[in-house]
Structure 1
Amino acid sequence: MRITHLILTDFRSYEDVRIELGPGVTTLVGRNGHGKTNVVEAVRYLSTLSSHRVATDAPMLRAGARRAIVSGRVQRGERTLTLEVTMIPGKANQARLNRGNAKPRDLVGILRTVVFAPEDLALVKGDPGTRRVFMDELCVALQPALAGDLADYDRVLRQRSSLLKSARGKPRFDARTLDVWDEKLADLGARIMHARLAAVEALASHVTRAYEDVAPGEGTCSLGYSTSARVARDHADGTDPPSPEPPTAATPVADLGAALLAMMVERRAQEIDRGVCLVGPHRDDLDIRIGDLPAKGYASHGESWSCALALRLGSFALLADDGDDGEPVLILDDVFAELDTGRRAALAGRVATAGQVLITAAVAEDVPEQLREHPDGHRLLYVTPGIVSDGEGEGKTHDR
């Protein structure tokens, strides 16, 4: 899998630029603030309809522009597909697939990418929300249809939260209205939890191996899914009553839904009192451990970088093993300058034969020799404000 052409119109610092991308390693070289990260951000956006830098679309529009367009041609197995997204502030985004109108969510997952960026340190040190986004993006890459469940869950969560707030201080509140939203939230939440549990279980061994590679001798890294939900399971001999236990990837979706619904009933008074939804996958977390200790709060700065690297490299390995369309596109956004010599070499060694790697760097020398000697070649593109060119300082767009 790879992206072969990228066209940006009024996206970030680019009024109109067309870029041809080949296999192997492509390094975008430019000073900070000149727009090299904007290019890989656009590739990522075509993959997930989200940015790895900002939470909303508005900052991605060029100053003064009324809309931005990102278009790309993707080689996926034997197929060639053209994806296009138009971002319009205050309106729903528009999408096209092979020049025909499409729903934006139809594009999600066609192009698979794995991005490693300096912001990824927050996967270890940041809030649970960052790790939930990581899990959900991986789940959508594995199961694109889950994007619809995630969007529907957010909508139902907002509706239910609004209803809980309106119920505060109203002794005659009709709880039957809340029952309807409970069922919807539990149904969608169970599907999301099931996908996360399966993804984390599949990812865990890849992360453990990647951590051993990038941080030899620094212990082991393990993953788990942290949730307050408990599922009743019968004992094998049938002599004891069901024992509530944490769910696993083998837990049926129906059992997860029943567990969530039971928790909502149990905590309803507390939810109404606080006016927030206290039950569901929006409260869960990815449990990252080094040895027996949680990485957050205990890992050193170097260990945290190793964990973040292992999460992204593990994701790359998992997606490469999944399906027949080949490896995802690997994006390394200004990361080599952040890593020490050992971790830089370990990262380069792990991805030295990846099918397509897009790198951003302030200077070409930041790219390790293993990647500059990629079997499919190493190509430099120079970035100056609004321009991507083959030659340093030539002042022309790269448009073949």
Structure 2
Amino acid sequence: MYLEHLSLTDFRSYAQVDLTLTPGVTVLVGSNGLGKTNLVESIGYLSTLSSHRVSSDGPLLRFGTERALIRAQLVRGGQKVMVEVEVNASRANRARINRANPVRARDILGICRTVLFAPEDLALVKGDPGNRRRFLDDLLVVLMPRHAGTRSDYDKVLKQRNALLKSARSQHFSRSGVSESQLATLDVWDQHMAAAAAKLLAARLELLNRLRPHMAESYAQLTDGSKVLRAIYRSSLDPIGAQEQPGMHDGGAPDIAGAPSGPSAEDGEDLSLLSVDDLAERYRVELAASRSRELERGMSLVGPHRDELDLLLGQAPARGYASHGESWSIALAMRLASFHVLDEDRHVDGNQPILILDDVFAELDAQRRRKLAAMVASAEQVLVTAAVGGDIPQELAGSTVQVIPGGVVPNE
């Protein structure tokens, strides 16, 4: 698959811009601040319906406007498909496929598959657990769009349950105490929570099992191979290593970040062997056991929103121990693993992902530049942004687009 044409209206800094692309490597070159990242951000948005730079859609609209339009023509296995997303300030976003009637935005998920690596991805290694959870969930949505509903259902249940716990907490410390009706309502939400949590956890665990070998191999190829990269999922269902760590989530709830530094790091149960029904039962048991603590805290202490993806080099946690260069290599390995997992899946529809490298090479030493370039050069379409064309290795020589204030100069 490749992107043939991109048109943006009132997106970020662009009132209107049109970009024509071809298969192979295209380098977008321009000084910082001219909008290179805005272009690739819009392509990534078509893939996940979210930005890799901001958590809400508001900043995507050009200042003073009420909507932005992203329109892309894709070529997949010789077939052309037009995808449009209208990002709105005050109403739900809408989408169109081949200029047909508007549909829900999430109905286009899976059509445009991208893997985007950007400087912000250092947070996958150095940041809080939420960054790594989002990495898994965003990839789930691209790989299997139905999981957009899985993710949305869980978020809705979590929000409602937290609101109930917060209300009950105020009663818990009052003279009247928690009412029977509140406890009965909480029982109902426990059932919803367990079912939604089990589906999300099972999907994450299945995905991670597919990612692990590619992460290890990609990291070895990017480095001298002296250290092995491993990824271990820490669930709030597994008491081994599940310790509260600094880091905030959802308005002040500490994240569960199982980060033991010794050999016990892998002593937990392999939850991927359990069925969704078995996981749901585990959640029901754990929610019942945690109820008094949750009433005291006024928040949900069990669920996938509390889980952690531990990244280890050898026996040491990458977070806090990996050097800057190692951290870059780990983040790259995670994105390259995503590309390989999506590429493995393309036998379903011939839909190889578009690989986007946003301002990456300026941060890498010469050796890592060459290794990364060699690893990605064979992809059907690679989009690279750079402030200086000299930062791009010869292995990625291709078309060049000059980004200028408010627009682009056609390919050379």
Matched, 1:318 2:341: yes
Is 1:183 matched with 2:191?
A: yes
Q: 2:370 aligns with which of 345, 348, 373?
A: 345
Q: Scaled by the length of structure 2, what TM-score is found? A: 0.88
Quick one: which amino acid aligns to residue 75 of structure 1? V
Q: Which runs of 5+ in 1 are unaligned?
A: 232-243, 373-377, 393-400
| Separation of aligned partners in 2, 1:389 and 1:278 | 52
2:388 equivalent to 1:380: no
Deviates more, 1:114-123 or 1:68-77: 68-77
Question: Do the aligned residues in 2 keep the contact of 1:227 with 1:246 (CA within 8 Å)?
Answer: no
Mapped contact 1:164–1:275 kept (Cα < 8 A): yes
Which residue in 1 is equivalent to 2:83?
Answer: 83
Moved more, 197-206 or 167-176: 167-176
Question: Offset of 1:153 from its aligned partner?
Answer: 1.2
In 2, Cα distance between equivalents of 1:76 and 1:260: 41
Deviation at 1:245, TM superposition (A): 5.9
Q: Aligned partner of 1:311: which letter?
A: M
Structure 1 residue 287, shift from structure 2 partner:
1.4
Deviations 1:220-254 (A, max 9, x none): 101121112149xxxxxxxxxxxx96243332011
Q: What does residue 390 of structure 2 align with?
A: 365
Tell me whether 1:167 sits opposite 2:168 in the alignment.
yes
Contact in 2 for aligned 1:201/1:224 (Cα 8 Å): no
Does structure 1 retain, via aligned residues, the 8 Å contact 2:231–2:312? yes
Query: Which structure 2 segments of 5+ residues have no match?
Result: 172-176, 240-266
| In 1, Cα distance between equivalents of 2:378 and 2:346 | 19
What corresponds to 1:117 in structure 2? 118
* Partner of residue 289 from structure 1, selected from 299, 309, 312: 312
CA distance in 1, matches of 2:268, 2:29: 52
CA deviations 1:322-359 (Å, max 9, x no partner) are 13224210000000000111111111111011110011
Mapped to 2, the partners of 1:245 and 1:32 lie a distance apart of 46
Aligned-partner Cα distance in 1 for 2:6–2:363: 27
Match status 1:30 vs 2:26: no
- Looking at structure 1, the residues matched to 36 and 238 of structure 2 have their Cα atoms a distance apart, in angstroms, of 46
What SS does structure 2 have at the residue aligned with 1:322?
helix
- What SS class does the counterpart of residue 59 from structure 2 fall into? helix
4+ residue runs over 3 A deviation? none
> In 1, are the aligned partners of 2:236 and 2:304 still within 8 Å (CA)?
no
Amino acid at match of 1:110: I
Query: Aligned partners of 1:246, 1:142: CA distance in 2, in Å?
Result: 26
Could you tell which deviates more after superposition, 91-100 or 352-361? Answer: 91-100
Is structure 2 residue 331 aligned with structure 1 residue 308? yes
CA distance, structure 2, for counterparts of residue 95 and residue 161 of structure 1: 32
1:271 to 271, 294, 303: 294
Residue 360 of structure 2 is aligned to residue 335 of structure 1: yes
Q: 1:119 Cα deviation (Å)?
A: 0.8
State percent identity of aligned pairs.
Answer: 50
1:78 positional shift: 4.1
User: For 1:31, what is the secondary structure of its paired residue?
Assistant: coil
RMSD over aligned Cα atoms:
1.5
The superposition leaves residues 258-308 of structure 1 with CA deviations (integer Å, 9 ceiling, x where unpaired) of: 111111111011111111111110001111110011111111111111111
Structure 1, 339-348 or 70-79: larger mean CA deviation: 70-79
